[in-house]
Structure formats: structure tokens, C-alpha cells
Structure 1
Amino acid sequence: MSAAARAFALRDAGLPGSYVLPIAAETSQARALAGYLARMSRTIDEVIVVDGSPPQVFADHARAWGDFVRHIPPAARTPNGKVGGVMTGVDEAAHERVIIADDDVRYRRAELKQMLDLLDDHAVVRPQNYFHPLPWHAQWDTARSLLSRVAGGDWPGTLGVRRSVLRSAGGYSGDVLFENLELVRTVRAAEGQEAVPLGLFITRRPPDARHFLSQRVRQAYDEWARARRFAAQLAIAPALVICGIPLAFALAAAAIVAAEIGRRRSGGRKYFAPAASLWAPLWVAERAVTAWIAIGQRLLRGGVRYRNGRLWSAATSERALRKKVAAIMAAGSAAKAAGI
């Protein structure tokens, strides 16, 4: 990172951290994000927008945001385009503590500070998103979040990471679909500690209904990376065919109870409406179908569609990552000892 870039990053006395927003938009988001990015630039020391948009859209973004954020193209393109943007931002960041966020995430100062404080003692932080506003399809997806809160935590559109740990691991793979899981697993493979603060709630703007529907199979495909969960989801439809209505009512009741437990954990009732738990059976039914479609996508089409291509792997196994990261870190230590 150049001296000029560091001077730009540290021009204001905001919270000591870097905020990285990877984006690749077919149409300009200049007006939609201008107010939020301007506020972020006054709140945190450095805001980096890594923009993989087409040239005309990139230029429009540069005109709108270039005076108060670092607006740069990705240094490398990856099959999962977000990963190339994230790693470019992490490499360019002036700070050790980095917050990565999608363009639909909306932080406030208090939440940024909590994230940065957690990064003092953890290498990666996975907070909790909640949708605002809440159209019907966001309520549907909220049920997924509530169930996740009782099964290891949600997978939000934002993470915090210590720059040195991720870079020492060689970054994370851009060839996988479930990129957040890949990043977290990579940091853990580098012996970094993960924090999952269920009580740290970050607002997220919901997608439109068409985009939400287009993600149903893709999200099911993510579960190839978590074999036990995927097997359980695949088992739902055959079990219902065999056992019929009694099992359907039992599963629906169990889903509602589990979602309600998730809603009540760590202050969730303030952010999740009581009706959100009632959507859980619908989400379970969705996953019972889309899990089998994901099987077909992998076996018949070589992976799930992602933008203009297909991705075969959901995420690298933890065992493989430990081996890979250990080799990278050992090579790095040897090079440092040799003065290379």
C-alpha cells in the first residue's frame, strides 16, 4: 500500500479500523449508497470500495464516492467475484482490524465499535444480521436465521477479520460458493479464534422478491460444505413420503419451537417479530425440496449457476484447509527466517 493511499485512509479521526465493501453492479448504485458511504467515511478511519462493475458503472461510482472513500478495482478476478474484491480490500487496508460488508448491510457507529473491539481478541467475528424493512420474503428468510441461531450462529452479509491472520494463511479460495464459510474456516485453520456474538445485531436491507427466489437453490447448494446438515435436509422429503401427515405436523411444530428459541436468544426479541418463528415450517419445506435440486445441479450440470458461470465446490473441507494453510504458513516462516 502506498504512502499516499495510507494518508488518504487516515485523513479523519474516526474509529481505528478499515471497512471493505466489495461490489459488482450491472447498474449504478451511486445514489443508493452515497449517503451511507459518506456516513461511514465520517465514522471509521478508512472505507475501501472494491468495485468490479462494468467500466461505465465503475466511472459513475467513482464520481459519486471518490471524494470520501478509496474506490479501486479488484486486483484479481475470481470465479466467486466477491472473494477477489474482499482480498483486494484486505491487502490494501491500512488497519489490522477489517470489517467486510456486502452492499446491503447498514452499520451504525456503536456496532462498528463492538466489531472492532471484538477483533482485539479474535481473528474473525461473525455477528447477526436482521432485515429492515420486512417484506414477506424477508420474513421467510428470517426463519432461516432463527433456526441458525440454535445451530452455531447465522451466516450474515458481514464479517470482521484480522488482516494479518487472513494474509498469513494466503487468503481464501475464490473457487467456492459459500465464501463466508471458506473465509472463517481459513482463519480457524490459521489458528485464529472465532467470535459469534449472537447479541450483536446489524441491519440488512432485503433483496427484491425476484432475487430472493433466485437464491433458493444456491443457498441449499451451500450445504454441500456441511455434510451432516445436508444429509438431514435431504432426509426430510423421503421421510414425509413414508410417514405422511403425522410427521409433517411434528416437523412443523419442532421447527416453530426451535425458531422461537433462536428468536429469544441474546436479546433477539427486540429485532425479530414473534410471527417470524411461524415461517420456519415453510423454510424447512423449501429446503426439503431445494436440497434435492442442488443434488441434481451438481450431478447433472457440474455445479450451481453463479453469475455467468458455475461453481462446483461449496467450500473446502476443514481438514484440507488445515493442511493447506499449515504448508503456506510454514513456507512463509521459512522465507522470513531466510530474509527473503
Structure 2
Amino acid sequence: MSLASPTGDARRAGRRWDVGHDGASTSPARLPMTYVLPLRWHTDTGLAELTGYLRWLADRVEVLVVDGSAPELFARHAEAWRGVIRHLPPDTAERGLNGKVIGVLTGVRAAGHEHVVIADDDVRYDEAGLTAAHRLLGRVDLVRPQNYFDPLPWHAWWDTGRTLLNRALGADYPGTLALRRSTFLAMGGYDPDVLFENLELIRTMRAYDGTEAAPAWLYVRRLPPNAAHFRGQRVRQAYDDLAQPARLLTALAVLPALAAAVAARRPALVLGAAAGTVALAELGRRRAGGTAVFPPTTALAAPVWLLERGVCGWLAVAQRFLLGGVRYGDTRITRAAHRPHTLQTRPRPR
């Protein structure tokens, strides 16, 4: 679905969530929207920053945190957020391997509004982003915004190469989605036993004939993980490609193609492929005003990320067939996401 892009000034307006344009706190009119944040923390190192963001959000939308953290952390969160947001545990009636999906199912059902934003704990909306998502949900059932990292340490730069390639070839998979609650409930939610939960939700919505918008201009800030967390996620993120055969085959072809070029002593082929990958990423960077949030050097990260995915793709396939799946918390998940055909042929909830 194509929708008009806001101006550059509108995209930049309100990018900082803690203050208004004059440096003072703002109290705008609240939107009829619920913000659902599924949470499961093992440490509270970011509690103060997240609490400030939640306070800012609570002035603008209903905020609901579904907290699957350990009891001592849950109690600490309840104290920090008392009187500010709705704080509740995951529904014990829900069963599934993916704790985030359980949190989403709990939160959407408990939401007080038709328009719902689902966001990871590192996502930071501004007023323009909330308002745009709300308006788009007046026309479609599902909205896929575009995340960008700010600040941009080396590992966030690295991962931005993936983002730009996704933008050039279609749409990225962000850490946040917005949806209509009635459509979500009517389709019966989505499977909590898959790893790539955002793709599963998108495919389930499509199978239910839900409408979708992926506005490349709707930029939503994301805080980068620490470097250790980034390193620990490489194979797990590559495992997502098992649900997308074309992407998986491309990733698996990287190392054989590189080895063949080296064996044939054809460095020009390697350099040409790298240059082509950078050019493709640059198209994604320039799309829909992306130069406002993606620095020029981020296109150079694309061949680096592609080489990494070529290595991790093979490791992901090995984990699937040798270990039965990829590690997720205290368990292993086998399925990345269901095929679209499988979801389309399933009986629909009454």
C-alpha cells in the first residue's frame, strides 16, 4: 500500500521523546491507542531510561507492559511504574515456546483500544511516529514501521547493512508493529511456538486477508544492544532465514561463490560483488528520505553483513539438523515461521 510521505521536518519533529521543542516537558492530547511492551529482563541496568520513556508514553497513549521477568525484578518494576502504566504478568493460560508471543497475546487481549502498537523494549517512538501509526491503522490492519539505530556503535553500523538491503528489496522487519485489535482477535492471534515471531504475525495477518502497510518513511528509533548481545544473536537471527527459502539459499551461496572466486584467482569478481552490494544498500539508504537517519557509511556495512550471514546461515542449518533447533532461553525452537500456504489452508477461528 502506498501512502504519502510526511515532510522531512515532520519526520524529524519530536525525535527526542523526553522534551518538547522548547526544552520543556509537553502534555499533548492522548491518542486512542494502546502501547504493548512484552518484557522479560534478567537485569535492570536500563530501568531508569525505560521508566523515563514509559512516563513520556503514558502522557500520549495507554501503556501496557506484560512483564515475564523473575519475581524480584517484576516487583521492582511494579514499584517503579506504579500509577504510570498498566503492569501485568503474562497470562498463565497461554502456552508456547516464544515468551514474547505470549506477552503479545496477553497484552493485545488486555488492551483498551482498537489501535495497538507492539514494541520491543529497545524501541523508542516519538510523537510523529505514534500519530502516523494511528492514522495508518484507520486504513489497514497492520503497519510495519522502519527502525533505525541511534546511537550507532560499530555493531549497530554492521547490522544496518541488513536493514538497507531489506529496504532496497522490499521492506525491513522491525522490532515494532502496529495492528487493529479486532482483526488480531478475530484471526485467533498467532503461533507462540516459532522463532521469527514478527514474520509469523505478518504472514498470519495476510492469510486472514488482513491489509498491510509498510511505509518506508515511518522511522522509529531503536537503541542498539551491547556488543556481547549482538554477537550472541548472529546465528539465531540467521535461523530466521529458514522460513524464507530464497534468502536462505542466497546466504548459503555466499561462501561457495567466494571460495570459487578465490580458487580461480578472480579478485575482480569479489570486488565487483562487494561493490554491487554496497550500491544496492545505497538505494535502500536513499529510499523515502532514509538519508536523514542512515549515515552514508552504513551502505559500506552491507557486504560485511552479507559475509557474516553466509557463515551464520550454514551454522543455523547445522543447528536445525544436528541439534533440532536454535537455542531460545531455556529451550530450543525448531520452526522459524510457518509457510504462507500452511497458514492459508488452516481452518480459521469461528
TM-score over 0.5 (shorter chain): yes
The offset of 1:13, in angstroms, is: 5.4
Structure 1 alignment gaps of length 5 or more = 1-11, 333-340
1:130-149 mapped onto 2 (5 Å cutoff): 130-149=148-167
1:235 equivalent in structure 2 = 253
Distance of 2:73 and 2:306 partners within structure 1: 39
Distance of 1:272 and 1:74 partners within structure 2: 36
Distance of 2:96 and 2:54 partners within structure 1: 25
2:55 equivalent in structure 1 = 38
| SS at 1:328 equivalent | coil
Choose from 249, 258, 277 the match for 2:271: 249
Choose from 118, 122, 139 the match for 1:121: 139
1:57 equivalent in structure 2 = 73
Distance of 1:79 and 1:30 partners within structure 2: 26
1:186 equivalent in structure 2 = 204
Distance of 1:48 and 1:294 partners within structure 2: 34
- Which amino acid is 2:75 matched to? A
Task: Tell me the alpha carbon deviations over residues 205-261 of structure 1, each in whole angstroms, 9 at most, x when there is no partner.
Answer: 000000001111111110011101111111111111122233321221111000100
- Contact 1:77 / 1:84 at 8 angstroms: preserved in 2? yes
1:317 aligns with 2:342: no
1:25 equivalent in structure 2 = 41
2:90 equivalent in structure 1 = 74
- Which amino acid is 1:316 matched to? H
What is the TM-score with the length of structure 2 in the denominator?
Answer: 0.88
1:262 aligns with 2:284: yes
The offset of 1:92, in angstroms, is: 0.5
Distance of 2:236 and 2:327 partners within structure 1: 8
- Contact 1:22 / 1:85 at 8 angstroms: preserved in 2? yes
1:271 aligns with 2:287: no
2:16 equivalent in structure 1 = none
Higher fraction of helix: 1
| SS at 2:206 equivalent | helix
CA-based RMSD: 1.1
1:4 equivalent in structure 2 = none
Task: Tell me the alpha carbon deviations over residues 60-103 of structure 1, each in whole angstroms, 9 at most, x when there is no partner.
Answer: 00000121111000103421110000010000011111000001
Q: Which runs of 4+ in 1 moved over 2 A?
A: 243-247
2:223 equivalent in structure 1 = 205
1:289 equivalent in structure 2 = 311
| SS at 1:19 equivalent | strand
Distance of 1:128 and 1:311 partners within structure 2: 27
Distance of 2:214 and 2:322 partners within structure 1: 36
The offset of 1:150, in angstroms, is: 1.2
| SS at 2:327 equivalent | strand
2:15 equivalent in structure 1 = none
- Contact 1:98 / 1:160 at 8 angstroms: preserved in 2? yes
1:335 equivalent in structure 2 = none
Distance of 1:105 and 1:184 partners within structure 2: 19
1:81-120 mapped onto 2 (5 Å cutoff): 81-120=99-138
1:166 aligns with 2:184: yes
| SS at 1:286 equivalent | helix
- Which amino acid is 1:296 matched to? A
Distance of 1:43 and 1:95 partners within structure 2: 13
1:7 equivalent in structure 2 = none
Distance of 2:233 and 2:59 partners within structure 1: 34
Structure 2 alignment gaps of length 5 or more = 1-27
- Which amino acid is 2:315 matched to? I
- Contact 1:105 / 1:205 at 8 angstroms: preserved in 2? yes
Distance of 1:17 and 1:200 partners within structure 2: 17
Higher alpha-carbon deviation: 204-213 or 25-34 = 25-34
The offset of 1:126, in angstroms, is: 0.5
